[in-house]
Amino acid sequence: MKKTVTRLADGRELLYFDADEGSVRDAVDRRPLDPVRSASEVRHDPLLGEDVAIASHRQGRIYHPPADSCPLCPSTPDWQSEIPAPEYEVAVFENRFPSLSGANGRCEVVCFTSDHGASFAGLTEERAALVLDAWTDRTAELSARAGVQQVYCFENRGAEIGVTLAHPHGQIYAFPYVAPRTATMLRNAVAHRAATGRNLFEDVLERERAGERVVLAGEHWTAFVPYAARWPYEVHLHPHRRVGDLTGLGEEARAEFPGLYLELLRRFDRIFGTDEPPTPYIAAWHQAPVAGADREEFALHLELFTVRRASGKLKYLAGTESGMGAFMNDVSPESAADRLREVASS
């Protein structure tokens, strides 16, 4: 893998990731861009003990542009995008409309392919492996930045999720605080260690691997629908050897991941039948905080879920979920696992 680092016209960083070590990336961004001025801040909620990012400048971000003016497509003589090259494999750049910026963190956009009409599920295993390399590289580099406490790689797909750009892409957030979900899992893991002497994530994985909700398993990874799934179709993908973040994965686990993950995404697209639009989903890498005495109790895992609960029906976060954080699932985890096994590739 070759990484090439350059700058956009307004000074933001742009990185190319190529499988070929001989790749040359020397295109220059010639757009007359003004410097980015973002004013994100982090405020603390004393009742919940959680931090909230305030980023009012994002109201002006690009919203559902036509395909011929997509900012994530390669540049052409008629359209200058965020990526000045005529083609690319995987590209990462600083978000022009970041939720977190400056001393309050950093936000990056990850473009999985230059093909506007593609999806992650349609990538080759080689390209998916290159994306994994990019996620790992950014996790390592962003974790080393002053003030960063956690790195979060994720993909939102589908208008139902709230995606404003159709081009296949994900994002990476470098948080200046530990995200609430992570803090809760870590507290529970510490309490479990104190009560049992064992690691909570390892116990959960062992129990799920022996149960009826396993969807897909390899030598180094297992995907399962969790016992208390919150979403209609929700799968957690864990490496068998516990590591805190992507940088800790061994070569065998890294080699097996692309095939398993692509199969999982393709099954998601078949849940509701071929007549339905592509399944909207969120794919979220849960990684340990950058530092802290208890970070060793955390376990890297990927969470994949959809807000579609049935053909033509969405799972809305209504009164109980949005108001109280109390989830009510309309699909039993066991039937969801059955369905995800039924739609396996032949």
- Binding site residue list for Zn(2+): 70, 73, 116, 167
Grouping H, G, I as helix, E, B as strand and the rest as coil, residue 48 is coil
* Amino acid present at 194: A
Based on the residue annotation, tell me whether 169 is a catalytic residue of this protein: yes
3-state helix vs strand vs coil in the chain, percent to 5 = 30, 25, 45
Task: Using CA atoms of 43, 45, 50, 53 in order, give the dihedral in degrees to the nearest 10.
Answer: -30
Length of the chain as a residue count: 346
Instruction: Give Cβ neighbours of residue 271 (< 8 Å, ≥ 6 apart).
Output: 233, 279, 306, 308, 339, 340, 343
The answer to whether residues 305 and 234 touch, using CB atoms and an 8 Å cutoff, is yes
Listing DSSP states for 256-319 in one string gives: HHHHHHHHHHHHHHHTT-TTSPPPPEEEEEE---SS-TTGGG---EEEEEESEEETTEE----I
The answer to whether residues 2 and 17 touch, using CB atoms and an 8 Å cutoff, is yes
Instruction: Give the HSE-up count for residue 52: Cα atoms under 13 Å, Cβ half-sphere.
Output: 9
* Amino acid present at 297: E
Catalytic residue among 64, 169, 192, 240: 169
Contacts 24+ apart (CB under 8 A), 28-32: 28/84, 29/80, 29/84, 30/80, 30/84, 31/80
CA distances from 273 to 68, 86, 159, 266, 277 (A): 30, 36, 19, 12, 9
Please tell me the distance from the alpha carbon of residue 148 to that of residue 290, in angstroms, as a whole number: 7
Active site residues: 169
